[in-house]
Amino acid sequence: MTTALITGSTAGIGAAFARRLAAQGHNLVLVARNTARLSEQATELHDRHGIEAEVLTADLSTEDGIAAVEERLDDRTHPVDLLVNNAGFGNKGRYLEVSLADELTMLKVHVEAVLRLTTAATRSMRTRGRGGVVNVASVAAFLPRGTYGASKAWVVQFTQGAARDLADSGVRLMALCPGFVRTEFHERAGMGTDNIPNWMWLDADKLVAEALSDLARGRTLSIPDPRYKALMGVTKLVPRGMLGGISSRTGRKYGPR
């Protein structure tokens, strides 16, 4: 039986990955900051699907948190076959309205943690000749949207570059770029969502199903839902200056996740 490790597993997209993978018979390593929520989630998934769900409490904005997950990924006696780097957050406010400390914390979670955990996972996977990594980015990666968009653009570029370098290793890497998903993401960041049209919202469970299908097909980039695929196609035709104006009027108030 294979094992999947999911960061940010207790809510939103991470929880949807956990439900889907447990239903498919995968054992899980559930990673988040809240031990009580992790334990509740692990018990529910074990009771419902009969899988083993390991709990790992870790804050990926800290050195100790990243190191703890790295150590688990380095465990060759209980290998991880699929890593889902989902942990992330948004800051409310324009550039210079957000504290530098908060900006650096975002880079710690979105960039450093993703780099280090992907590296720890793929080293072991390459030795075994199989495995997969899903790095959750955002359609914000394709828009000029400050530190959040820049960090997600890094996730996309890094993941696709690493996928190319490991193409013959049996290890698959994919960047997942969702749009607006009904999760706790916006509420935690204090971002309003009243102005977002209903048609732009995606269902987390359907998104995850499509993402896993894309990973199985060997794709290195997944933009779930035809609506967002079309929107991202349009962005290639719009001048960057105009995209910046649109992003300033909308994305600063609420960001895709």
CA nearest to 29, candidates 13, 51, 61, 47? 51
Give residue 225's pLDDT band: very low, low, confident or very high (50, 70, 90). Answer: confident
pLDDT in tens, 167-179: 999 999 999 999 8
Whether pLDDT at 11 is above 70: yes
Q: What angle do CA 109, 222, 82 make, to 5 degrees?
A: 60
Respond yes or no: is residue 95 known to be catalytic.
Answer: no
DSSP 89-115: ----S-TTTS-HHHHHHHHIIIIIHHH
Distance CA 252, CA 229 (A): 22
Top pLDDT among 184 and 217 is at: 217
Top pLDDT among 148 and 229 is at: 148
Q: At 85, phi and psi to the nearest 5?
A: -85, 90
Residue type for position 43: T
pTM for this prediction: 0.87
Q: Which whole number is the average pLDDT over 181-210? A: 68
Q: At 133, phi and psi to the nearest 5?
A: -135, 130
Whether pLDDT at 241 is above 60: no
Q: How would you class 194 by CB atoms within 10 Å of its CB: exposed for 0-12, middle for 13-18, buried for 19 or more?
A: exposed
Give residue 197's pLDDT band: very low, low, confident or very high (50, 70, 90). Answer: low
C-alpha 13 chain-centroid distance: 8
Are the beta carbons of 256 and 139 closer than 8 angstroms?
A: yes
User: What is the overall mean pLDDT for the chain?
Assistant: 87
- State the pLDDT at residue 25: 98
- State the pLDDT at residue 201: 66
Pairing of strands 131-136, 82-85: parallel
- State the pLDDT at residue 132: 98
Q: How would you class 64 by CB atoms within 10 Å of its CB: exposed for 0-12, middle for 13-18, buried for 19 or more?
A: exposed
Residue holding tokens 């072991």?
A: 124
CATH topology of domain 3-249: Rossmann fold (3.40.50)
Instruction: Map out the domains of the chain as residue ranges.
Output: 3-249
Residue type for position 214: D
Whether pLDDT at 17 is above 60: yes
Top pLDDT among 192 and 71 is at: 71
- State the pLDDT at residue 183: 55
- State the pLDDT at residue 181: 80
Q: How far is CA 17 from CA 56, 64, 80, 165, in A?
A: 16, 25, 15, 26
- State the pLDDT at residue 1: 77
Q: Which whole number is the average pLDDT over 208-215? A: 97
Whether pLDDT at 64 is above 80: yes
- State the pLDDT at residue 202: 84
